[in-house]
Amino acid sequence: MNRLEVEFKKLKSEKRGGFIPFIVAGDPNLATTKDLILLLAESGASVIELGVPFSDPVADGVTIQAAAERALRNRIGVKDVLKIVGEVRAEGCETPIILFSYFNPILQFRLEKFASEMKTVGADGVLITDLVPEEAGDFQRILAGKDLALIMLAAPTSSNERLKKICEKASGFVYAVSRAGVTGARNEMSSEAENLVKRLRQFTDLPIAVGFGISTAAQMEEVCRYADAAVVGSAIVKEIERTPESSEVAENVRRFVKDLLPNEFSATNLH
Amino acid sequence: MNNFQPDERGYWGEFGGRFVPETLMSPIEELTDAYFAVRDDADFQTEFLNLLQDFSGRPTPLFYAKRLSERLGGAKIYLKREDLSHTGSHKINNAVGQILLARRMGKKRIIAETGAGQHGVATATVCALFGLECVVYMGTEDMRRQSLNVFRMRLLGAEVRGVDAGAKTLKDAINEALRDWVTNVDSTYYLLGSALGPHPYPLMVRDFQSVIGREARQQILEKENRLPDVLVACVGGGSNSIGLFHPFLADEAVRMIGVEAGGKGNNLGEHAARFNKAGGGKIGVLQGTKSYLLQNDDGQIALTHSISAGLDYASVGPEHAFLQSIGRVEYAMATDDEALEAFQMLSETEGIIPALESSHGIAHAVKIASEMPPDAIMIVNLSGRGDKDVDQVQEMLGK
Ligand SMILES: Cc1ncc(COP(=O)(O)O)c(C=O)c1O
């Protein structure tokens, strides 16, 4: 069993929802990213989503766009992101890590090389925001050959026919996008998310995580009533953004995550 | 289907496809179904051609540029006068086609991106014609250099939203339009302005623009009783060029040259010539399609430069990438300076002030005409008129 399977099995047996934080690698710098991964792992993250910065992030709202710009100013590329994963594994971190990217940086790195280096450094899966099932065939086969997960996105606008195709390509878990739109914190959870998760369950036994717009403990609780995990991205990235001193970023994120996780998420010490 | 039609997934060879967030896939499938339903529908095509005739003034003339041809001392140069279209460029052809489709789909809100502002003006125009809400995204750098078109769009009742990201040009405007679309999928029709983006846009825009080449083919046969030797057109996203070229693709003796923006140098960031492999052009995926892109080794999209906002873009339509790969169309470059010179030369010799985009095509014609025999025939697509550019040119010439 790979790390993702182990983690979701454990969540299930403990009847808990998972917490999946997202940060952009290299924002504000690589050393801080490494600290943040270790801290998030310790603070109760079930899976960590590590963003590969891209110059043209069409699926992202202003918060993550700005984070990608900060990372790109540090010239962070795919190889740096892989390297960071290797480093946290060397320090004993066993929390599943998935890479979150647009397709072009991976394509330029070359798909085979990307998959084998993921395997070498100990990354568990990858999610590509602009790779729909019709275009995912080659990459899916390459990843499957190495027991690496391809996390597919499903949207409220996806027809059942599309959900079926998505689930056929997906492994690890399925990422249900809570609403039509770009990433970014919202006050309300859309009712579409629950409906989407229900529809997805008809087509897959994989765990389902809900993301886009989740920023509070109450929203996480609500989502985990029907989904297996909740992704929190922009809200954490905003904490990073508003901390000018990079030495204080980790502490601020720790405080934020503590408020975010009600007891049932963080009570049991995880790893 | 022959080689010049994409397959079911929107690929010409290895180029094209659909690389978008999943949220957009259902609307894109809906658009594809709607488009294929009208593509061979006689009523729709009649409605389209009638509107082009009565509203936009088609057919546009094919004009023999006698003084220019004589001055260069070579091929006979004909100009396809898209500059005489309503709103001043070929962009209106596609805007008319897509607005009719949007109406059939029952969409009430139209969004568009624009570089030079010509597509934005064309979209604002057809939205005014049909009383539809219109939002146009435009990079703030382009708003600065094409301020006349910003004012025109506002006069036409459109809302122009400035985009401050990246180089603040066309690519950044497309990103923002895509974000709007993904957020407002139900109400909104994205009226994309070039032969770019996810399938079916490159096909649909090419189809609507092919009226240029169909007319030109008939007109040259009437005037010269034979096909031309060479076609020349500037290539931004690739819509005016594919519109001229496509109806001639099966005519093997007709040579075709697409002219990209050579900018001010050969280094990444100094030009917008995607097929310039020494200058950083490589196959990749951007804004929904697989094609040639200007990018660095990490797969980050490069900044681009061109004197002309309409050519200042890091990617190119996938059908062009395919035509380049099979050698059917050649791609050349014209620099900023060459375009500026051609801008003045056409103004002086023919009394036609061309758009800076089109001036790149003229500049290449100037380069090759003198090497051709006097009985050779060349058609250059004069994609737009230069009124929008006169302030910028005045500034650059210091006059
Ligand atoms: C007059 C004119 N010609 C050419 C272009 C380039 O676009 P395309 O390559 O799609 O024809 C533009 C774009 O703004 C334009 O305004």
Give the span between the Cα atoms of B40 and B35, in whole angstroms. Answer: 9
pLDDT of residue B109: 98
Residue B271 contacts residue B333 (beta carbons within 8 Å):
yes
A191 versus B323: the higher-pLDDT residue is B323
What whole-number percentage of chain B has pLDDT above 70?
A: 99
pLDDT of residue A266: 47
Task: List CB contacts (< 8 A) between A181 and chain B.
Answer: 23, 182-183
What whole-number percentage of chain A has pLDDT above 70?
A: 96
Residue A51 contacts residue A183 (beta carbons within 8 Å):
no
Strands B15-19 and B62-64: unpaired
Residue type, B276: N
Residue type, A170: A
pLDDT of residue B1: 39
Does ipTM top 0.90? yes
Residue A112 Cα distances to A115, A142, B3, B228, angstroms: 5, 7, 30, 47
How confident is the model over B97-136, as pLDDT tens digits?
A: 999 999 999 999 999 999 999 999 999 999 999 999 999 9
Give the span between the Cα atoms of B82 and B212, in whole angstroms. Answer: 8
For the domain A18-260, what is the CATH code?
A: 3.20.20.70
How confident is the model over A194-212, as pLDDT tens digits?
A: 999 999 999 999 999 999 9
| Of B101, B86, B2, the residue nearest B45 (C-alpha) | B101
Q: For chain A, give every domain's residue range.
A: 18-260
- Phi, psi for residue B295 in degrees, rounded to 5: -155, 160
Please indicate whether, in this complex, the C-beta atoms of A55 and B166 are within 8 angstroms of each other.
yes
* E strand residue ranges, chain A: 18-24, 48-51, 97-101, 125-128, 149-154, 174-177, 208-211, 229-232
How confident is the model over B146-204, as pLDDT tens digits?
A: 999 999 999 999 999 999 988 899 999 999 999 999 999 999 999 999 999 999 999 99
* E strand residue ranges, chain B: 11-12, 15-19, 62-64, 76-81, 109-114, 133-139, 159-163, 188-190, 230-234, 255-263, 281-286, 288-294, 330-335, 377-382
- For residue B82, the ligand 1 atom closest to its alpha carbon is 1
Please indicate whether, in this complex, the C-beta atoms of A157 and B299 are within 8 angstroms of each other.
no
Residue A44 contacts residue A257 (beta carbons within 8 Å):
yes
For A132, the closest of B25, B186, B298 (CB atoms) is: B25
Residue A257 Cα distances to A175, B19, B108, angstroms: 21, 34, 43
Angle subtended by helix axes A62-73 and A234-241, to nearest 10: 50
Question: Between residues 106 and 135 of chain A, which touch chain B (CB distance below 8 Å)?
Answer: 106-109, 129-132, 134-135
pTM: 0.96
What whole-number percentage of chain A has pLDDT above 90?
A: 92
Task: List CB contacts (< 8 A) between A104 and chain B.
Answer: 284-286, 293, 295, 299, 301
The CA-based dihedral angle spanning residues A27, A30, A31, A35, taken in that order and rounded to the nearest 10 degrees: 60
Please indicate whether, in this complex, the C-beta atoms of B19 and A182 are within 8 angstroms of each other.
no
Instruction: Write the Ramachandran bin of B191: left for phi over 0, alpha for psi from -120 to 50, otherwise beta.
Output: beta
Integer Rg of chain A from CA: 17
Most confident of A52-56, A241-245, B1-5: A52-56
Catalytic residues of A: 49, 60
pLDDT of residue A265: 52
- B229 Cα to the center of ligand 1, angstroms: 23
Residue type, B179: R
Confidence tier at A267 by pLDDT (50, 70, 90):
very low
Average per-residue pLDDT for chain A:
94
Residue in chain A lying closest to B19 (CA): A130
| Of B151, B150, B193, B155, the residue nearest B174 (C-alpha) | B193
- pLDDT value at A22 more than 80: yes
- For residue B118, the ligand 1 atom closest to its alpha carbon is 16
Is the bond into A105 cis (omega within 30 degrees of 0)? Answer: no
Residue in chain A lying closest to B21 (CA): A130
Ligand 1 pocket, Cβ-based, cut-off 6 angstroms: B 89, 91, 115-116, 118-119, 194, 234-241, 310-311, 355, 357-358, 383-384
- For residue B238, the ligand 1 atom closest to its alpha carbon is 9
Catalytic residues of B: 91, 113, 383
Task: List CB contacts (< 8 A) between A182 and chain B.
Answer: 179, 182-183
How confident is the model over A95-127, as pLDDT tens digits?
A: 999 999 999 999 999 999 999 999 999 999 999
Token couple for B91: 């962009």
